Amino acid sequence: MRVGIGYDVHKLVDGRKLIIGGITIPFEKGLLGHSDADVLVHAIMDAMLGAAALGDIGKHFPDTDMEYKGVDSMELLKEVNEKILNKGYKVNNIDAVIIAQKPKMAPYIEQMVERISEVIGIERQWINIKATTTEGLGFAGKGEGIAAQAIASILEYKL
C-alpha cells in the first residue's frame, strides 16, 4: 500500500460558480482558478498522484496551458485515475476535509462522495469527506478563500 497527501486553496471571488467535489453549491461567490477551481478535487488528485510518485496536478495540468482553462476538475480526476491505473495501482480509499467558514458543506457531502466514487470507480464506503470551519480565524475564517486537504491510499492492481 502507498499513501499520498494533497492540499489546495483558492480565493473566493464574485462572478464565479462555487464548485466543490464536482457539485455546484449555491453561494454568492465562487473560487478563482485557471480551471473550475474545485479545491476538494484538486487536493484529492494531488493525494492520488503523490501516492503513485507521479508529481502533482501542476505538472500534469499546468495553469499556463489554455487547454485547461475553465476545465471541469472531474474530467481531470478521471485522467489522474487513468494515470494511477496505468502505473499498476488502484485507489483504495480517500479521506478529505474541506476548510470553509461559509457556506455550510454538510448538505452537499453525500453528492460529492457519489460523484467522486463514480469517476474513480471505487465504492462510496471507501471515500470520506468532511468539512470544518476555522472559527473565524485566517483566510478561510474571514471568507477570503476555501482550502481542502486529502489523503489517498493506493494498492497494486493488475489490469
Is 17 a known ligand-binding residue? Answer: no
Is 64 a known ligand-binding residue? Answer: yes
Taking only the tens place, the pLDDT of each residue in 6-49 is: 999 999 999 999 999 999 999 999 999 999 999 999 999 999 99
Is 135 a known ligand-binding residue? Answer: yes
Is 130 a known ligand-binding residue? Answer: no
Is 107 a known ligand-binding residue? Answer: no
Is 100 a known ligand-binding residue? Answer: yes
Is 34 a known ligand-binding residue? Answer: yes
How far apart CA 89 and CA 133 sit, in angstroms, is: 34
Is 101 a known ligand-binding residue? Answer: yes
Is 74 a known ligand-binding residue? Answer: no
- How many independent structural domains does the chain possess? 1
Identify the DSSP state of 108.
G
Is 57 a known ligand-binding residue? Answer: yes
Radius of gyration of the chain (CA): 15
Taking only the tens place, the pLDDT of each residue in 94-132 is: 999 999 999 999 999 999 999 999 999 999 999 999 999
Taking only the tens place, the pLDDT of each residue in 61-98 is: 988 877 878 889 999 999 999 999 999 999 999 999 99
For residue 110, how far is the Cα from the chain centroid? Answer: 15
Judged against a pLDDT cut of 80, whether residue 140 lies above it is answered with: yes
How far apart CA 46 and CA 57 sit, in angstroms, is: 6
HEC string of 30-81 equals EECCCCCCCHHHHHHHHHHHHHCCCCCHHHHCCCCCHHHCCCCHHHHHHHHH
Here the cell at position 130 is 468532511
Domain that holds residue 101: 2-156
Is 10 a known ligand-binding residue? Answer: yes
87: domain CATH number is 3.30.1330.50
CB 129 within 8 A of CB 96: yes
How far apart CA 109 and CA 104 sit, in angstroms, is: 10
Is 102 a known ligand-binding residue? Answer: yes
